[in-house]
A and B are shown apart, each in its own frame.
Chain A
């Protein structure tokens, strides 16, 4: 099929799909070689990138999805039909450790974080960002955790190899969140947290935008 014909057809498939749709699946549905689909996807992505559109083609969780441009986020949030969750620091730390070190057990996570992580793990499991991969064959048979495709979708990652590069440290880096206030000690109220989270909800779990 001519790429000029195929590109809008591929666009239609992506538009109609419920979530990210795999190129392989489109090739199967259209009974066309994968290479042609990939070429059409490239053309489509370039098209969205160059022309003034409200959305773009994102490669995510092994598939493709149309998503609104980040610069319009404020306006879209005002529509109010979505309730994104906000990550607490424990949740983010735990998620990061699991994303990079999976498969990983709870005790390994807790050794790295230095704190009990049971409730954070539970919340992340309920949010379907984590899943139990199985049990480790060591005494006590601890469960091992990994991230889900929902995790990839949430952070807009094509796959795990697209995670931000983990910086190896041999030195300490300046604190962004604590040290900039060192001039104003004692600090009993963290302005940063309350400034953008007026609800002051528990930091142990996800709070949601209202």
Chain B
């Protein structure tokens, strides 16, 4: 029992633990004694519970898998000849996963030992990586995370009221899309924040944001910024004259 009281939370998951047990017992990976390994695995899980460690669901799932394999192997083989090729050893998938896991476990160590910028190597100034592809226009593409960060910024300025009031409000994304397009008409671009200024309500902000997402999806606007974490600019991506022909009905957007 003592011999299983190993550093338990040192295992990243059930595969890691299984690999360890197999190696420790010098078992043949292609002929794992499934009864022995299952027993050791379960004892380890018990030890984890005794230490009041939360045994994650993944560990239990693997325990079930091991028991399933064990029971399969106990079943008598009905017709020996037919089994030859079309029926795989019940352990085969597990072995493949273990070897595959070992591969990435090892290479992740190699990666860790690779000289890292900011840890082993330093570049001039704080390396704030810049996306060079878009550099000629002075703008870089805005990623999803930047967009969400920008939404959080504008929402922060309009805190949620304490009282919850239910009222019928007709907020339409279609209307908002049209309003944004109207605003954009005759302008080269507008700042993301401008759409959210003027003390508008949180619900309106959300609708505006959804409208913007729809516009991007419809490829009618583009988001760009000059520097990372800089102002997000909204550019019309199509000729706005053609907008009227686009069907942006509420139904087609999937909102109701």
Q: Are A70 and B121 in contact, CB atoms less than 8 angstroms apart?
A: yes
Are the C-beta atoms of B123 and A66 separated by less than 8 Å? yes
CB-CB nearest in chain B for A72: B122
Q: Is the CB of A187 within 8 A of B7?
A: yes
B108 CB to nearest A CB, Å: 4
A32 at the interface (CB under 8 A from B): no
- Bound together, the chains give a CA A156 to CA B131 distance in angstroms of 16
A190 touches B104 (CB 8 A): no
Does A173 lie within 8 Å of B102, measured CB to CB? yes
Measured in the bound complex, the distance between the Cα atoms of B8 and A203 in whole Å is 13
- Cβ contact within 8 Å between B121 and A67: yes
Cβ 8 A contact of A156, one of B12, B20, B117: B117
Decide: A100 and B6 in contact? CB cutoff 8 A: no
Residue in A18, A66, A112, A156 whose Cβ sees the most chain B Cβ within 10 Å: A18
One of A115, A168, A177 near B58 (C-beta < 8 A): A115
The smallest C-beta distance from A93 to any residue of chain B, in angstroms, reads 5
Interface residues of B in 118-152 (CB under 8 A from A): 118-132, 135, 143-145
Are A18 and B128 in contact, with the CB atoms below 8 A?
yes
Chain-A contact segment, one of B22-30, B77-85, B198-206, B241-249: B22-30
Q: Mark A154-195, 1 if CB is under 8 A from B, else 0.
A: 111000000010111111111111110110011111100100
Which one of A4-12, A34-42, A80-88 is at the interface?
A80-88
Interface contact B97-A95, CB-CB below 8 Å = no
Q: Which residues of chain B are near A173, meaning CB under 8 Å? A: 102, 106
A73 at the interface (CB under 8 A from B): yes
| Interface residues of A, count at CB 8 A | 78
* Chain B interface SS verdict (over half): helix
**Contact count band on B:** 35 or more
Q: Tally A-B pairs: CB < 8 A.
A: 179
Q: Is the CB of A166 within 8 A of B24?
A: no
B252 interface contact, C-beta 8 A: no
- Closest chain B residue, CB of each to CB of A126: B145
B5 contacts the other chain (CB 8 A): yes
Complex contact B118–A96 (CB within 8 A): no
- Flag whether A59 is at the interface (Cβ < 8 A): no
Contact across chains for B121 and A73 when beta carbons are under 8 A apart: yes
B116 engages A96 (CB within 8 Å): no
Instruction: Name the residue of chain B whose CB is nearest to the CB of A148.
Output: B129
**Which of B16, B144, B145 has the most C-beta atoms of chain A within 10 angstroms of its own C-beta?**
B16
Q: A97-B104, A155-B116, A185-B3 are in contact. Are A82 and B13 (CB under 8 A)?
A: no
Chain B min CB distance to A98 (Å): 10
Cβ of B145 and Cβ of A125 under 8 Å apart? yes
Complex-state Cα separation, A1 to B124, whole angstroms: 28
Judged by a CB distance under 8 angstroms, whether B109 is at the interface is yes
A116 near B102: Cβ-Cβ < 8 Å: no
User: Residue B213 at the A interface, CB < 8 A?
Assistant: no
Indicate whether A25 reaches chain B with its CB closer than 8 angstroms: yes
Is there a chain A Cβ closer than 8 Å to B168's Cβ? no
Q: Choose among B62, B107, B124 the residue that contacts A166 (Cβ–Cβ < 8 A).
A: B107
Decide if B103 touches A168 in the complex (CB within 8 Å): yes
- Say if the beta carbon of A19 comes within 8 Å of chain B: yes
B2: A residues at CB distance < 8 A: 185-186
**Residues 77-113 of chain A, each 1 if its beta carbon lies under 8 Å from chain B, else 0:** 1000111111101101101110110000000000111
Interface flag for A139 (CB, 8 Å): no
B56 contact from A70, A82, A84, A116, Cβ within 8 A = A116
Q: Choose among B97, B102, B122, B129 the residue that contacts A19 (Cβ–Cβ < 8 A).
A: B129
Q: Is the CB of A89 within 8 A of B108?
A: yes
**16 residue pairs A–B, Cβ–Cβ below 8 Å:** A19-B129, A25-B135, A73-B120, A89-B12, A93-B105, A96-B104, A99-B111, A114-B15, A153-B127, A155-B114, A166-B103, A167-B103, A172-B23, A172-B99, A178-B10, A209-B119
In order of increasing CB-CB distance, the 4 nearest A-B pairs are: A115-B13, A186-B5, A114-B15, A92-B108
Residues of B within 8 A of A (CB): 2-3, 5-7, 9-10, 12-16, 19-20, 22-24, 29, 56, 58, 62, 97, 99-112, 114-132, 135, 143-145
